[in-house]
Amino acid sequence: MKRLIMLIVVIFIAYGSKPVWEEKVEATGLDSMLSKIQEMKDNPKVQNAFDQFYNELNLLLVKLDESIGEMKDGEDKQDRGTIDKPSLSAPENQEFSIHNIELGDSRGSVEKELGAPVRKTLNEYGSYWHTYHEDYQNFFMVSYDSEQHVNGLYTNQDLLTSSTGIEIDSPKETVQGRLGDPLTSIRKGLTVYQLQNNGEHDVFQVDDSYVTFFYDKHEQDSVTAVQIIDRSLEQKKQGFYTEPNPELKEGFEFQLFDLTNAARVNHGLLPLTWDNGVKKTARKHSLDMADNNYFSHTNREGKSPFDRMEEDDVAFRTAGENLAYGQMSSIFAHEGLMNSKGHRDNILQSHYEYLGVGVAFNGESQPYYTENFFSR
């Protein structure tokens, strides 16, 4: 390509300086040489060879132009595929804000700025997560109380701002150093609930809310997500697990799907497509585990995830399965899966294209989560 460009430059220079060099040639008495060159130019064989060269050069120029156009189109597509991060400001009334939204903000102000949510799903608090994203970039969820004020927020992307300076990717030591010791229990009336803590998350009481920081142990225990729940919303939730119903089951399924895609986009991967066929496979396995009190990729008949998918006529080239059990919500289930090497590898597998999620509850309202990934 460089040689071609140099050749074109030389031709243009030679043509542009023709009067000069013609004059020089005449001054040196080389008219006879020019005559011979003219005779050669008029020779049909020479003319044919020149025409062939010209056609080939013209073809190369056309291809060069097309290549430059394709490169420009690619750059334009890349630009269109990157959503600018919103301009974030420090919270005004609360310690923390997500996407410039704080607890207590009105639903009207949120929707005036952002429009309608992409999805609305029931959560474990009996309220709804209103999910916002742009192809899973700038991903966050908002919950509202009965008076349509924000009472819950969540994000696993770089949308957190705080007057303390804590951000997504802040080290665990920074969080604990600025907020003190995390809670070990929460009192609700006469009942004290002990918080489960395996070092992968911390809960703090900040202002009049409970703030949970999730840590990524594969990224030096840095903050990977945050959930902010108004104290009144948390106090209304009785029991560790929520009484299940079909709407909550579906809510957990779509929430886990969205969380998975947001995590993939965080790591530079394409989001997965929801597949109803494999969702049925995942649901049946979750229900079988919940009803029969076991937790395994191999069911009681000895069938693997791949056997079950084939049995349900799910055509796949490659496939994988993630299981989780006992987490109070899809958020906790997803963050736990991301801290487990094998499950994390499935979530961040570049060649997977489709995902179906199935949730079921046992007699104690404990949820079982099954994620089935595959590519065709």
Residues pairing with 228 in the sheet: 153, 211
- 64-70 contacts at long range (C-beta below 8 A, 24 or more positions apart): 64/1, 64/4
* Beta-carbon count within 10 A of 289 CB: 21
- Segments making up each domain of the chain, as ranges: 1-61, 96-236, 246-375
Q: Strand 273-274 relative to strand 354-361: parallel, antiparallel, unpaired?
A: parallel
CA 233 – CA 242 distance, rounded (Å) = 13
CA 177 – CA 169 distance, rounded (Å) = 15
Kindly report the backbone phi and psi dihedral angles of residue 69, in degrees, each rounded to the nearest multiple of 5, phi listed first. -65, -40
Environment class of 68 (CB within 10 Å of its CB; exposed 0-12, middle 13-18, buried 19+): exposed
**What is the dihedral sign for C-alpha 172, 173, 178, 183?**
positive
Q: Strand 318-325 relative to strand 367-375: parallel, antiparallel, unpaired?
A: antiparallel
Do 96-236 and 246-375 come out as alike in CATH topology?
yes
Phi-psi region of 84 (alpha: psi -120 to 50; beta: other; left: phi over 0): beta
Kindly report the backbone phi and psi dihedral angles of residue 206, in degrees, each rounded to the nearest multiple of 5, phi listed first. -125, 130
CATH tag for 246-375 (out of 3.90.226.10, 3.40.309.10, 3.40.50.1780, 3.40.33.10): 3.40.33.10
Helix (H, G, I), strand (E, B) or coil at 42: helix
Among residues 331, 320, 263, 270, the alpha carbon closest in space to that of 297 is found at 320
Residue recorded with tokens 């701002």 = 161
**In sequence order, what DSSP letters do the residues of 300-340 get, joined into one string?**
TT---HHHHHHHTT---SEEEEEEEES-SSHHHHHHHHHTS
Nearest 10 degrees: Cα torsion 338, 224, 275, 309: 0
CA 331 – CA 54 distance, rounded (Å) = 65
Structure tokens at 353: 């294209």
Among residues 49, 50, 59, 64, the alpha carbon closest in space to that of 5 is found at 64
Written as tens digits, the pLDDT of the chain (376 aa) is 444 444 443 344 444 444 444 444 344 444 444 455 455 545 555 444 544 443 444 444 334 433 444 444 344 334 435 667 777 766 667 889 999 999 999 999 999 999 999 999 999 999 999 999 999 999 999 999 999 999 999 999 999 999 999 999 999 999 999 999 999 999 988 889 888 778 999 999 998 999 999 999 999 999 999 999 999 999 999 889 999 999 999 999 999 999 999 999 999 999 999 999 999 999 999 999 999 999 999 999 999 999 999 999 999 999 999 999 999 999 999 999 999 999 999 999 999 999 999 999 999 999 999 999 999 9
Among residues 252, 256, 212, 249, the alpha carbon closest in space to that of 230 is found at 212
The CATH number of the structural domain formed by 96-236 is: 3.40.33.10
pTM for this model (two decimals):
0.77
Please give the pLDDT value at position 25: 37
Please give the pLDDT value at position 58: 40
CA 374 – CA 376 distance, rounded (Å) = 7
